[in-house]
Structure 1
Amino acid sequence: MKQISKTPDIIARLERAGASVDDVVVFEAIALNNRPLRKRHPLYNGAVAQRSLLLEMALALELESRPLQIMHDKEELPRGRVFFGELRDEGDTELRVLFWVDKTYQNEIQLIENGTVDQVSVGMLPKQMICSADGFDFFGEGAGVEHIFTGTTPDGHTVGKNGVYCKMVGLETFFEISLVGQGGAENARIVNNDQSHFSPRMQALAASAKLDHLALTAIATTSRTETPLMDVKELLAELRTVEKDSTKFQIENEQLKASNTALTTERDALKTQLEAASKGEPEIKTELDALKADHEGVKAELASAETALRDICKDVLTASGQVDVEVPEKIEDVVNTIKETKLNLTAGGKASGAEEGKTLSASMSAGSFRTRR
């Protein structure tokens, strides 16, 4: 018998996954292990799933159940769900899963119970496909169309020849498990209920990814004329489109880098100028302070000269007998008044005698209004 008893823990997990507990039947299977895959494919031929990949698949089931399909046919609705996974490290490293089948599908349930259908296959995509001989990543940035299509690295190692195989590392996406006639992984099968080893104790892992034509659907293949996952021409066209887009992105990325370098250079130049200006600021301030002091001195001298000139104007007016005449406000009027009064005196205008003449002469001495420059 292969049905698994619904323990309280399994019931809780079924309910959490959204199952109607009374309307489903539960089974256990070895979904994938670390034995070489028996699949004719440029990359998956003899590929070995690493423990990191199996662990991430188990943890991914803690976040979301996966559909149970028939022969990877996603055109049909699933027959049930895979709702729990756990790693076992006894001999082989195995990914053990629990899945349910809806009781509506009594035919499938009976085929499993009878042992007619006893194997499963995963639909998933690893993050990396690492060559065992030289470490080349067929899913990495350096991989091109020819590498992927031929399974040959830049160093000339070919998957499936001379013991070369790919190590499947990390999980990119895990999208379904199917009931199949023969699993791509040896011993990937539905176990009897007395062989169940489940002891739930996993932690959740955030996972999100995309479906890819290079994803593994691990059904065993023995014929070298195996029908590819998709038409070869279509695959090449798609891969070359991806490669072309990647090249375009690289060019745009280089242009952005060049632009960024130019902007960085310009920024550094401006920074240098700013630093130089900052260093010269104290000297400029000293010069400005000196100019300001000189300006204040000139203002004081001009004020002193203006006062002296007004005094001379007053003396000239007094000497000419214009005692009551006020000295003009504007300095140009002061100068004109002195000139006109002096002319009048020279022409024989009123003079109050020798003493007045002496006073005028003394007042008009050039030294009375000389300014310092």
Structure 2
Amino acid sequence: MKRLELTPELISLIHDRVGPDVDTDGIAVFESISLNNLPLPGKKGTIWEGAIATPLTLRQIADHINNGGHIPLVMNHDMSGVPKGRVFQAGIDYSSSGDFELRTLFYLDKTEAEMAAKIDAGSMDEVSISFLPTSYQCSECDFDYLGEGANWENFYTRTCSNDHEVGKDGVHVRMVGLASLIELSLVARGAADKPKIVGRSTSKLAPASAQRLAAAGFEIDGLVCQASRGESTPMDTNKLTADLIDAKTQVGVLTAAATAHEAQLTAAHTARDEALGQVATLTAERDELQTKLTAAEGESRTADAEAAVTWLTASLTKLLTAAGKTAENLPTDVAALTAAIDAETQGLTALIPAGGASQQAGGDDTAPKADLSAFKTRK
């Protein structure tokens, strides 16, 4: 039997995702592998030939479901009929080959007991999911078939604007992101990795299981992808090893370059710090010398000024005394002393006659003649 045990935890999860009033009596819950990130099979001749859903796409589909997005469970992608049940939980896990796979939990209404029995018996065990990605990117050049530069001719010819044709030389589209998620279908032949609807022993999403992971899904509307199983291709381990060695070599080179750059940067910072220290020291020494110079100049001017005042005061005192004046209340600065001395000097100069000698009384300026008669010479 593939249906999961309807535990209280599982019932609580259904009520949390679908609604508290959902009648869980008689429903059958199953887990399915709905999509993976391997190339899609069975799409030859279409835009989806070899198409790959990215892990981001799977992640966004899972988030959409787990955030309460209404995803009906239908039959053969027929949205015109009454849904058989509903998808309520999703998760992303690794497959046995190491690929990403999208797992979903869905339930069948109690009115679908016959379909549930067919799934339990394995006569119906595949699913297919319908979604529209955010972009269809060319695997060679990242041209977006849903972008502004694309048109319907690109889809019709399966050729991007750079002439890369889907299906030739390994060219395919990458289904990136999730624009809308439409439904999950029970189908006779799906596209998910085997087995499509898993049993209790391999369940990974049931609340009591060891792993609870989230997943994502597909959508439809002309460009909607209806996908299930992806097919794996042999891996070239030699090329992978060579690429890994090359990558490690590049990392080593970049690491060495980064180390050398860091050393140079450290040395530059050290030199800069030393230079700044020297500048600070020289600035302090300059300021100290400037202070000393200013003080010395101030002291020098003070001594000269005091000496000048002392000399000028003495000179003025002498002039005043000579003029018969009293030397009191004399000026104390150089300019005033100089002015006073000039004034007194002019007064004294006025007493000296022209020619440099004073006149005798009577006005006779004739000099007396000497009597030399007593002196005789021998003949």
Q: Give the TM-score category using the shorter length.
A: 0.5 to 0.7
Question: Cα gap change, 1:27/1:195 in structure 2, threshold over 3 Å: closer, same or farther?
Answer: same
Give the equivalent residue in structure 1 for 2:38: 35
| Aligned-partner residue type, residue 146 of structure 2 | F
Alignment of 1:208-357 (within 5 A): 212-218=221-227
For the residues of structure 2 that align with 1:183 and 1:84, how far apart are their CA atoms?
20
Give the equivalent residue in structure 2 for 1:58: 62
Alignment of 1:102-121 (within 5 A): 102-121=109-128
Alignment of 1:64-103 (within 5 A): 64-90=69-95, 91-103=98-110
Provide the secondary structure at the position in 2 that maps to 1:13. Answer: helix
| Aligned-partner residue type, residue 10 of structure 1 | L
TM-score by length of 1: 0.55
Shift in Å, 1:42: 2.7
- Verify the 8 A CA contact 2:182 2:219 in the aligned structure 1: no
Question: Cα gap change, 1:9/1:41 in structure 2, threshold over 3 Å: closer, same or farther?
Answer: farther
Shift in Å, 1:31: 0.7
Q: Select which of 135, 138, 144 maps to 2:145.
A: 138
Give the equivalent residue in structure 1 for 2:11: 11
Shift in Å, 1:148: 1.3
Structure with bigger gyration radius: 2
For the residues of structure 1 that align with 2:170 and 2:62, how far apart are their CA atoms?
29
For the residues of structure 1 that align with 2:10 and 2:196, how far apart are their CA atoms?
20
Provide the secondary structure at the position in 2 that maps to 1:104. Answer: helix
Question: Cα gap change, 1:180/1:211 in structure 2, threshold over 3 Å: closer, same or farther?
Answer: closer
For the residues of structure 1 that align with 2:213 and 2:99, how far apart are their CA atoms?
20
| Aligned-partner residue type, residue 89 of structure 1 | Y
Give the equivalent residue in structure 1 for 2:288: none
| Aligned-partner residue type, residue 221 of structure 2 | D
Shift in Å, 1:144: 1.1
For the residues of structure 1 that align with 2:198 and 2:214, how far apart are their CA atoms?
21
| Aligned-partner residue type, residue 32 of structure 1 | L
Q: Select which of 44, 50, 54 maps to 2:48.
A: 44
Provide the secondary structure at the position in 2 that maps to 1:133. Answer: coil
- Verify the 8 A CA contact 1:180 1:219 in the aligned structure 2: no
Whichever structure has more helix as a proportion of its residues is 1
- Verify the 8 A CA contact 2:76 2:186 in the aligned structure 1: yes
Provide the secondary structure at the position in 2 that maps to 1:46. Answer: coil
Shift in Å, 1:210: 8.5
Question: Cα gap change, 1:200/1:69 in structure 2, threshold over 3 Å: closer, same or farther?
Answer: same
Count the aligned residue pairs: 218
Q: Deviations over 1:316-363 (max 9, x none)?
A: xxxxxxxxxxxxxxxxxxxxxxxxxxxxxxxxxxxxxxxxxxxxxxxx
Shift in Å, 1:213: 1.1
TM-score by length of 2: 0.54
For the residues of structure 2 that align with 1:210 and 1:107, how far apart are their CA atoms?
28
- Verify the 8 A CA contact 2:35 2:228 in the aligned structure 1: no
- Verify the 8 A CA contact 1:183 1:219 in the aligned structure 2: yes
- Verify the 8 A CA contact 1:46 1:160 in the aligned structure 2: yes
Give the equivalent residue in structure 2 for 1:200: 212
Shift in Å, 1:125: 0.6
Question: Cα gap change, 1:182/1:46 in structure 2, threshold over 3 Å: closer, same or farther?
Answer: same
Q: Which runs of 4+ in 1 moved over 6 A?
A: none
Shift in Å, 1:5: 1.3
Shift in Å, 1:105: 1.2
Moved more, 177-186 or 97-106: 177-186
Q: Select which of 152, 155, 159 maps to 1:148.
A: 155
- Verify the 8 A CA contact 1:32 1:95 in the aligned structure 2: yes
Shift in Å, 1:57: 0.6
Give the equivalent residue in structure 1 for 2:177: 170
Give the equivalent residue in structure 1 for 2:23: 20
- Verify the 8 A CA contact 1:126 1:172 in the aligned structure 2: yes
Question: Cα gap change, 1:219/1:94 in structure 2, threshold over 3 Å: closer, same or farther?
Answer: closer
Provide the secondary structure at the position in 1 that maps to 2:12. Answer: helix
Provide the secondary structure at the position in 2 that maps to 1:108. Answer: helix
Shift in Å, 1:20: 1.4
Provide the secondary structure at the position in 2 that maps to 1:9. Answer: helix
For the residues of structure 2 that align with 1:5 and 1:184, how far apart are their CA atoms?
26
